[in-house]
Homo-oligomer: A and B are copies of this chain.
Amino acid sequence: MKTVTMKDVAEHANVSKSTVSQYLNKRFDYMGEKTKERIEKAIEELGYQPNIIARSLKQKSTSTIGVIVANILHAFSTQVIRAIEDHCHESDFHIIVCNADDNPEKEKKYIEMLLAKQVDGLIIFPTGGNVELYKRLLKANYPIVFLDRMVEGVNIPSIMLDNEKASSLAVAHFIEMGYERIGMITTSTSLNVVTRIERVNGFKKTLNANQLPMTEDYIKSLEVKEIQNSLENMLKQAHPPQALLAGNDLVLMEILKFVKAHSIRIPTDLAIIGIDDVGFAELYNPALTTVAQPTYEMGKQAAELILLKIQGKNEMDDLNRFEPTLIKRESC
């Protein structure tokens, strides 16, 4: 690859490097017309492209932000990433996306790597497993924003769903439709993920508030691969749940897989609501009732916030909750 530098342009145009640099940075307040033209021509002829790496080194800024998602398999992650990217693009920032796979060590590795790459800021869906590291970044006043989850004891601005309300909306709708034996399945057993905890709490609270029985057997936190078995056991009992809340899109898929394999009719045999609005929800037979997160807004706010922080401004409260929306369709 021919690598033509500023020096080449300078020589070609018979000026010095600094003059070329000024031209490139639009500082031609005092630049001669003919000099300008000569440089322009030289750039054109040589096909010169500035080396952003060198510029970054000098300016100590890469116009790049790092995004670390806990689990890229969730539709929510990709939707939010898109929103972040859209918004960053407007400010000529780029993003590097990494997938921590719900693994704190991977997350740590990525954080260190992105810092080494001199990204100007970080948006993280935290696994929660690197508290010391989070704190260090915060203390260093490094621009960082949490998304989807917060971490107890770490004062980093967090953009989150009102998770309790999400479950609450779902359960209230189940009740409204006449269901009484209501269950819930979530993922992420091993990790202490606040999202899951809050959703389960909202679920239990709403059940209690309506004096409905709460069977622990019908509230499961499982690895994805355990879900089929667990459903089998849950539904073959004497009084199986009539309605099931899927804690996220991955759980929803598993439930639908089970439903299909066992010819269960929805909502006659089993009513279903899923948290996270997936693309096929409205196409499915029957169309799926879901609780949607305002993904675009959340991503946008994360991007706005990180860009503000990078500029040294800092105007947000530490926690910002977004409202979920119940989208009533046919599965409940």
Segment of A35-43, A168-176, A216-224, A282-290 in the binding face: A282-290
Indicate if the CB atoms of B57 and A115 lie closer than 8 Å.
no
Segment of A46-54, A145-153, A240-248 in the binding face: A46-54
Which residues from B are CB-within-8-Å of A94? 96, 113, 117
Q: Any chain B CB within 8 A of the CB of A82?
A: yes
Complex interface bits, A176-191 against B, C-beta within 8 A gives 1, otherwise 0: 0000000000000000
Closest to A139 in B: B2
Indicate if the CB atoms of A257 and B284 lie closer than 8 Å.
no
Protomer copies: 2
Closest to A112 in B: B49
Indicate if the CB atoms of B285 and A284 lie closer than 8 Å.
yes
Q: Any chain B CB within 8 A of the CB of A319?
A: no
Q: Any chain B CB within 8 A of the CB of A56?
A: yes
A260 to B54, CA, bound (A): 56
Closest to A287 in B: B260
Indicate if the CB atoms of A117 and B53 lie closer than 8 Å.
yes
Interface residue range, chain A: 35 or more
Which residues from B are CB-within-8-Å of A292? none
Within 8 A of B (CB), among A86-122: 94, 96-97, 99, 112-113, 115-118
Indicate if the CB atoms of B57 and A1 lie closer than 8 Å.
no
Q: Any chain B CB within 8 A of the CB of A31?
A: no
Contact of A116 among B52, B113, B278, B282 (CB under 8 A): B52
A3 to B115, CA, bound (A): 11
Contact of A53 among B53, B97, B257 (CB under 8 A): B53
A114 to B11, CA, bound (A): 26
Which residues of chain A have a CB within 8 Å of any CB of chain B?
A: 1-3, 47, 49-54, 56-57, 60, 62, 72, 78, 82, 85, 94, 96-97, 99, 112-113, 115-118, 136, 140-142, 253, 256-257, 260, 278-280, 282-285, 287
Could you list some 30 contacts between A and B, CB below 8 A? A1-B141, A2-B140, A49-B112, A49-B115, A49-B116, A50-B116, A51-B116, A52-B116, A52-B117, A52-B118, A53-B53, A53-B56, A53-B57, A53-B117, A53-B118, A54-B57, A57-B57, A78-B78, A85-B99, A94-B96, A97-B97, A253-B279, A256-B280, A257-B282, A260-B282, A260-B283, A260-B285, A260-B287, A284-B285, A285-B285
Q: A53-B56, A96-B96 are in contact. List 5 more A-B contacts (CB 8 A).
A: A2-B140, A53-B62, A256-B280, A260-B283, A283-B284
Q: Which 9 A-B pairs have the closest CB atoms?
A: A256-B283, A285-B285, A280-B280, A52-B116, A53-B118, A52-B117, A1-B142, A49-B116, A53-B57
